[in-house]
Every structure is written in structure tokens, then in C-alpha cells.
Amino acid sequence: MTIPTDPKTGEFRRSANHFDARITADGRDGWLVEAGRYRLVVSRACPWASRGLVVRRLLGLEASLSVAVADPIQDDKSWRFTLDPDGRDPVLGIGYLAEAYHAADPHYMGGISVPAIVDIPSKRLVSNDYPQITLDFSTEWTSLHRAGAPDLYPERLRDEIDVVNAGIFADVNAAVYQAGFATKQSAYDDAYTRLFAMLDALSDRLEKQRYLVGDTITEADIRLFTTLVRFDAVYHGHFKCNRHKLAEMPVLWAYSRDLFQTPGFGDTVDFDHIKRHYYEVHEQVNPTRIVPRGPDLSGWTTPHHRDQLGGRPFGDGTPPGPPPDDERSSHGPAA
């Protein structure tokens, strides 16, 4: 895997999302919300894709939006469907996600990323715009939400959620990668400093409130969770984000366990996929490709006591039911 960094500064540069069409209730971008029409392509290793899995579960979109899970180990053609029989996605009939990208744009030469939403009839990529995908699940796919689905992006809190999300993206979600992929000391130092300053600020924010914005789970919690759940398994060691482990930051550790034990969160996590992807694919960071045996994952299911702060996880809604057997994560912590 080639990691794009600036040769002068040593900073990691994430590629822009080239395909940003939106699937909406009125079809104004040419893509109409329809049950069964689209397929969400993810890797369980990827924090950006994992947002989509969590939101899809919480909103009850499983029956309307099917999922393709890519192999956590990429090859030179990027994400592949080698977990499926004959190495092809059984719905789309393709062996590589790149085929959907090139069906949408035969001249596309950029990176192949997840999450990706593919139009099943045409096998064309519609969107890889991960920040917008989950927001649209909450606001445009409402006709397909389950009864009791929570409001993850309540209108009255959107401005505050957007501000919190911007800080989390710059100084947590992106900063761990900027630290891990830096090729100069100054670039690493900057990312490391921003990351732990933000984690300290988030810890202060969460010390007396159960969730980041308001008293229920919102998009902000989902975006923070998908980085925190990977922290000790990969970011602390592999990406050198090692001031403290998550398990050594009491407030954030309890907050993360609270979410992990909430239906829709931990049941989408696969630590085996997470660890194998980071340690085997990032050869520039880990040339031996040795996957560490730790950390001990049993702590994820220990009591968190965050319910003492009040809050209503799903607001006026209800928790999602259990995931379908064929989508249940099989590599989480032992109960």
C-alpha cells in the first residue's frame, strides 16, 4: 500500500472523495432512495466505513440496504471480495470494488476507498463521500427507518454537532493517521500533540455528561467511537500514539465501553479484521507484517457506570434488534 505524504513536510495527505453524488428522498442528484437498490461496501477494519455500519444498524436499514464486506487485506487493486465464494461479491458480481469505480468513471485514476455505495442494477459507484453518507442515512432515508429509530442528527443540535465533528475529524479521526504515516519528526509531533490535546478536551467534556451533544447518542458519538475502539489495538502502537492507552484514560475508556456495549456499536466491531488490516497492509510502517497478539480485549465488556450520568441512549426511540446472523461480528471480545 502506497501512503501519500508530502515530501517536503512529511505530512500524510488524505485523498479527496471524488464521487459525492447524494442518494436523496427526492432524487435531486439523480439517485432516489429505494429499498433494495443500493449496496453498502465496507471493510470492518476501516473506521470511516464502520460509521456506516453503526448508523445502518441503529436506524434499522438492514432490510433496505445490503452490505458487502471486503477482505481486510488489500492487494495492488485495493479492496477485494475474497471473503465471498469464488472471490466475487454475490450481489454485484464483481471481484474488486475498483470495478464499480471504473463503471462510474472509466478514466478514474484515484484511490479506491470504503465506504462506498454502489447502485446494484448498473454496478456503478454512487458515492464514497463518507461524511455525507451517514448524515443522509439519518435525514434522507427516513421512509426506510425502523419503527423506534433514534434521531442521530436532530435539527436543533446540528450546528453544535457539526462543530464537534469538525474538531473530532481534524484532531482525532485524521490525527491518528497523520501521526502514524508521518515521514518527518515535525509532522508526527504536530499530529501527536493535537491528538492528545483533543482527547484531553473530550475527556473534560464527557466527565459530567454521558454523550457528546445533548443527552442521546448522535452522529458525533459514532464518529468518535470508531477511532477510539481501534486505539489500543492499533493506533497506540502501530501509529505511535502512545502517550496513554485508551484504557489509561478513565473517562474516555468508560465512555467507549458504554457505547461498545450499546446495541449497534460493539456488534459491528471485528478486532481480527482491524488488526490484520493495519499491521499487514501498512508495510511502510510495519515491514515485517507481524500482527501482535494483544491487547487483552476482555475489558470491553466490563461495567462502565456511565448510566449514572443519566442520558437516554436512543432518546424517544428504542434499541435495534440483534444483527442478522450473516452480519454478526465474530471477532469481538470474549463475553
Catalytic residues: 46, 177
Phi/psi at 42 (5° precision): -135, 165
What sections of 261-311 are H helices per DSSP? 271-281
Judge whether 127 and 136 are in contact, CB under 8 Å.
no
Does residue 294 sit in helix, strand or coil? coil
Judge whether 191 and 182 are in contact, CB under 8 Å.
yes
Chain centroid to CA 330? 18
Give the angle subtended at the CA of 154 by the CAs of 151 and 155, to the nearest 5°: 145
Q: Describe the strand order of the beta sheet including 124-127 as a list of residue ranges.
A: 66-69, 38-42, 116-119, 124-127
Judge whether 196 and 112 are in contact, CB under 8 Å.
no
For the chain, what is the largest distance between any 2 Cα atoms, rounded to a whole number of angstroms?
55
160 exposed, middle or buried (CB, 10 Å; 0-12, 13-18, 19+)? middle
Report DSSP state, residue 292: P
Query: Strand 124-127 and strand 116-119: pairing?
Result: antiparallel
Q: CA–CA separation, 4 vs 324, rounded Å?
A: 37
With a CB cutoff of 8 Å and minimum separation 6, the contacts of 276 are 45, 72, 73, 291
